[in-house]
Each structure stands twice: as structure tokens, then as C-alpha cells.
Amino acid sequence: MTMRTRFAPSPTGVLHIGGARTALFNWLLARRHGGAFVLRIEDTDTERSTRESIDQIIDAMSWLGLEADEGPFLQTDRLDRYRTVAHQLLDAGLAYRCYCSREELAAMREEQRSRGLKPRYDGRWRSRTTAVPGVDPVVRFKNPVAGSVRVRDRIRGEVVFENSELDDLVILRSDGIPTYNFSVVIDDADMGITHVVRGDDHLNNTPRQINIMSALDLSPPEYAHVPMILGSDGSRLSKRHGAVNVTDYREAGYLPEAVLNYMVRLGWSHGDQEIFEVDEMIRAFSLEQVNESAASFDPDKFLWVNEQWLRRAPNHRLARLLASYLEGAGVEGVGLAGTPPLEEIVDVQRHRAKTLVEMAEKSLFIYRAVEAYAPKAAKQHLRGVALPVLKRLHERLGELGEWTVASTQAAVESVAGELELKMGKVAQPLRVAVTGESASPGIGQTLALIGREKTLRRLVRAVEFVKARMARAQ
């Protein structure tokens, strides 16, 4: 039997790191075993589900490259099917109508809780058949009252639940919409899902689902409950912990392969390997190696992983991406005449940034005239002693034949030699003059990227700046 896995998010928000990892594990398994990966949208919570969320989830998955082989299927398109099955159960005496009001149920729970018991429906409509006029009943599943349910989990091993701990859960709401535990069973069966891989917050639901399956004469799929992802403080990962949505990372300049790489290592490992190509993940991934304990999300390591992938990405691809991040930062005319080819920028910046956003920020000096020198940098390097240096640099660079990394670098070195100064005393004032900052790529690279005209113009301006400053000091 070919493996069929699924990802079944509820469209009540955007794709979260935890959900994306679940999707990844499922996708990996299907790829590994030549099976199919199904996307199913669990939108039976009509109050909170939105079309916008569905679109965002699909968009994020597609960015990550987690394309579904089948779907997306929407549960709200299958309502008739759930009702049909619910009626089969009703007819077979395996489910019943319950006319309790919400207030009545709340009171029941309150009473049980006050007695230190686990709040459960007490089955008061289990054997009653008289309808209550004017009340739309819910349909409840008749859960077995005795015995136990064994969940065979590929990650946790065998977990046993006593039926006496379970109650008769609602499978169809009074408006005829099924609840999660019911629709999930029918869909997994109808869609031929062989492996259910999901967060371990679902482990406690599994015995209920298995009981429904038994009533329907279905055999359960393989289960694998993956550990949750926690924030740095040990609580469940949430917005409080900063960016947690997949799209946040796209915006922050992460590469999709880095996101996949970081996610796959959260709860799973393969010896001491840290970096995985997608193909390597597919070959190496197995449920048996998935950890049982929850993992904390570590933004620092994620950043490092992205840096690793920035190094591996082909130049032309990074160039194309960098262009859009530069435009996002408000730069106009990216890649046009008068600006260096993007691939040259990528060449010098790819080892100097951990994200594309950072790469764009560090490249702004190429496009923008220096509006204001960084105060500390100016104070330290644009001083009176720098005046002759800057003037000489302007002369020497101005008479340069060709303007390249090597020629500009050599010119700067020759000025240093001529003035009997260390490179630091020459390159730093120059760097601040042309970039406004005390840090930039190698001085030759910096000048080559800026270009002759802009360099000379900025040098003139720096000379003026130093003069004005000296005048003020007197």
C-alpha cells in the first residue's frame, strides 16, 4: 500500500512555524516513500475560518515548496458526507441525539469540577428518545463505557487510554456541522490516509477517533504525534516570542530552504548533520528519529542556518532576491545604468549578512548619497588630521585610469605609503566619507561598487565637512 499523508490545518490564521513543520514532516514522508501528500482544510469552525487564511496558508506552503499532490480539500464542501455517516451511526444505535442546552452542560461541568472530577458529559440522553420541541439537538457518539483503547504511535510507542476516562462527544452540532473529531475520521478514511502525523496536542483525541473508527468498521491509520515547539521561556510558541509565521521570515529575508532546514532539525536529527538539502532530508527523514520531547525555538540558530543557505544559494538567484529587498527598502533604479550589477554586490556581501534584509541594508550606501555621517564614525575619523588624506585620495583616485577593486585598492595603499600612514588612518576616513559608516566591505570593493563619480563627489563633501568642523572648533 502506498503511503498517503496529509496536512490538515484549520484556516483561522496564517501558517505558523509549528504547523509548517508538521506539514514538512508529512511531505517528507510522502516523498521518501513515493506516496502522496494531501492538503485538507479543516474549516468546520465557521466562526473563525476565513478564505484569507486559506490563501495565506497555501501561499506560504508554496513558498516553502511543500506542494500538495492532492487538494486542497475543504471540509465545508463535504458536509453532506458527514451528515450521512452521522445518520448511519444514529440508525445503528451507535450515536444519539442530545437536547441539553449549553447552560445545562456548563452547569454539569461546573458541578463535576467542584467535586474534583474530570468534567465529562454524563450520558443523560444516551437512552432517551423523546425529542424536546423547539430544540435542535446535537448528535453524540456512544463511546464504549468499558475497556481501553491502545494507540500505537510511531514516536511515543503504545499509549493506553481507559474508556472510562472518555465521554460521549458531540459529532454533529445542532446546525448540522460536524466537529473536528468526527470529520477528521471520515476524511482520513475517505482520502485513504495511511499515516497521520500531527502535533502531540492531538494525542489525547486519538482514542476518541479510534473508537469512532471502530464503530464505522474502519481500521486506524499509523499515528505519529510530534512534539510541540516551545518559545524561549518554555511556553507554547506564540506571537509573544517574536516572529512565528512563515511569512514573517520571508519578509525578514530568510530563504525557504533555510526555513525548512531549521524546522526539520527541531525535533529531529540525523547524527551530527546540521545542514540538509531538501533531497537529503527526504532521504534521511524517518519518524523513528523524531524526538519525544518538546523543543525550544532558537532564533539565533535559525539565523545561522539562514546564513549557511545564503552562502550556498547561486549568485543569480540571490541577485534577483536582493533586488526586491532593495526595492522594499525604497531604493530606486536597482540594477540600472550607473549602479553596479547586482551579482557583483552579492559577491561581496554574501558572507557579510545573515538575511537578505541585512544584505540590502548593508548595500544601501551604494545607492544613496551619505545624508549624515554616523556620529561616532565621523567623530573618530573625519578629523583635522584626515583633511590632507582625503584631499590626496581625491587627487589620486581622480586620476585613476580604470576603476576597479584592484586599482582603487592600490591607489589607497599608495596614498598611505606616500603619507607614511598605516592603512587604518587612510582607509577609515575614506570609508566614512563614502559610506557614512565605519564598517563596509573591503575598501577597494566599496569604492568599486560606489563608482568613480559618486566616490569623488562624496570625497569632496567630506572635505567640506571636515573644514567646517575645524572652523567651528576654533
Which of 215-223, 233-241, 245-253, 449-457 is the region at the interface with RNA (rule: CB under 7 A)? 233-241
Supply the minimum distance, in Å, between the C-beta of residue 425 and RNA.
8
Kindly report the length of the chain.
Answer: 474
Using the minimum distance from each CB to RNA, give the nearer residue, 288 or 371: 288
Answer yes or no whether residue 203 interacts with RNA by CB under 7 A: yes
Kindly tell me which of 274 and 280 has the beta carbon lying closer to RNA.
274
User: Residue holding cell 482520502?
Assistant: 191
Residue type, 222: E
Residue 406 CB-half CA count within 13 A = 1
* Residue corresponding to grid cell 545561522: 304
Stretch of residues binding RNA (CB under 7 A), selected from 124-132, 189-197, 232-240, 246-254: 232-240
Rounded to whole angstroms, how far apart are CA atoms 235 and 296? 9
How far apart CA 402 and CA 397 sit, in angstroms, is 10
User: Using CB under 7 A, which residues numbered 167 to 196 contact RNA?
Assistant: 167, 170, 173-175, 177, 179-181
The phi, psi pair for 77, rounded to 5°, reads -85, -10
Applying CB under 7 A, which of residues 296, 331, 383, 400 lies at the interface with RNA? Answer: 296
Helix (H, G, I), strand (E, B) or coil at 249: helix
Separation CA 375–CA 377 (nearest Å): 6
**Region of residue 211 (left: phi > 0; alpha: psi -120 to 50; beta: else):** alpha
**Residue numbers 339-358 binding RNA by CB under 7 A:** 351-352
In the structure grid, which three cell numbers stand for residue 178, read together?
A: 460536524
In whole angstroms, the minimum distance from the beta carbon of 66 to RNA comes to 18
Q: How far is the CB of 180 from RNA (least distance, A)?
A: 3
Cβ contact 248:21 at 8 Å: no
User: Quick one: how far is CA 151 from the chain centroid?
Assistant: 30
- Rounded Cα–Cα distance for residues 424 and 82 (Å): 75
Interface of this chain with RNA, residues 266 to 295, rule: CB under 7 A: 266-269, 271-272, 274, 289, 291-295
Helix (H) or strand (E) holding 79: helix 79-91
Q: Minimum distance between the CB of residue 215 and RNA, rounded to whole angstroms?
A: 18
Decide if 354 is catalytic.
no
Contact residue for RNA among 32, 81, 83, 236 (CB under 7 A): 236
Candidate residues 165, 190, 395, 453; the one interacting with RNA per rule CB under 7 A: 165
Size of site (CB under 7 A) for RNA: 85
Q: At what angle do helices 256-264 and 51-64 cross, to 10 degrees?
A: 90
CB of 419 to RNA, least distance (A): 13
Q: Tell me the window of 29-37, 160-168, 382-390, 464-472 that interacts with RNA (CB under 7 A).
A: 160-168
Contact pattern from residue 362 through residue 381 relative to RNA, giving x for each residue in contact according to CB under 7 A and a dash for the rest = --------------------
| Smallest distance from RNA to CB 237, Å | 10
Q: Which of residues 394-453 bind RNA (CB under 7 A)?
A: 409, 422-424, 427-428, 431, 438-444
Residues within window 250-269 making contact with RNA, judged by CB under 7 A: 265-269
Name which position in 5, 22, 26, 44 contacts RNA (CB under 7 A): 44
Candidate segments 83-91, 154-162, 329-337, 453-461, binder of RNA by CB under 7 A = 154-162
| Window 134 to 153, contacts with RNA (CB under 7 A) | 138
**289 close to 270: Cβ distance less than 8 angstroms:** yes
Q: Are the beta carbons of 166 and 143 closer than 8 angstroms?
A: yes
Residue numbers 311-330 binding RNA by CB under 7 A: none
Choice between 184 and 326, CB closer to RNA = 184
Q: Which of 74, 123, 204, 400 binds RNA (CB under 7 A)?
A: 204
State the cell numbers at 203.
494525542
Nearest CA among 17, 41, 21, 19 for reference residue 29: 21
Shortest approach of RNA to residue 150 CB, angstroms?
10
Specify the residue, 145 or 468, whose C-beta has the smaller distance to RNA.
Answer: 145
381 phi/psi in degrees, rounded to 5? -115, -25
Q: How far is the CB of 263 from RNA (least distance, A)?
A: 10
Site string for RNA, 64-83 (x = CB under 7 A): --------------------
Q: Which one of residues 34, 133, 147, 234 is an interface residue with RNA (CB under 7 A)?
A: 234
Residue whose grid cell is 567630506: 462
Set 118, 142, 239, 301: catalytic member? 239
Task: Give the whole-angstrom CA distance, residue 429 versus residue 164.
Answer: 78
Nearer Cβ to RNA (204/214): 204
What's the CA gap between 188 and 348, in Å, rounded? 51
Residue ranges in 98-127 that form contacts with RNA under rule CB under 7 A: 100-102, 105, 109, 113, 116-121
Residue 336: exposure state from Cβ atoms within 10 A (0-12, 13-18, ≥19): exposed
CA distance 87 to 83: 6
C-alpha 302/C-alpha 232 separation (Å) is: 13
Residues carrying an active site annotation: 239
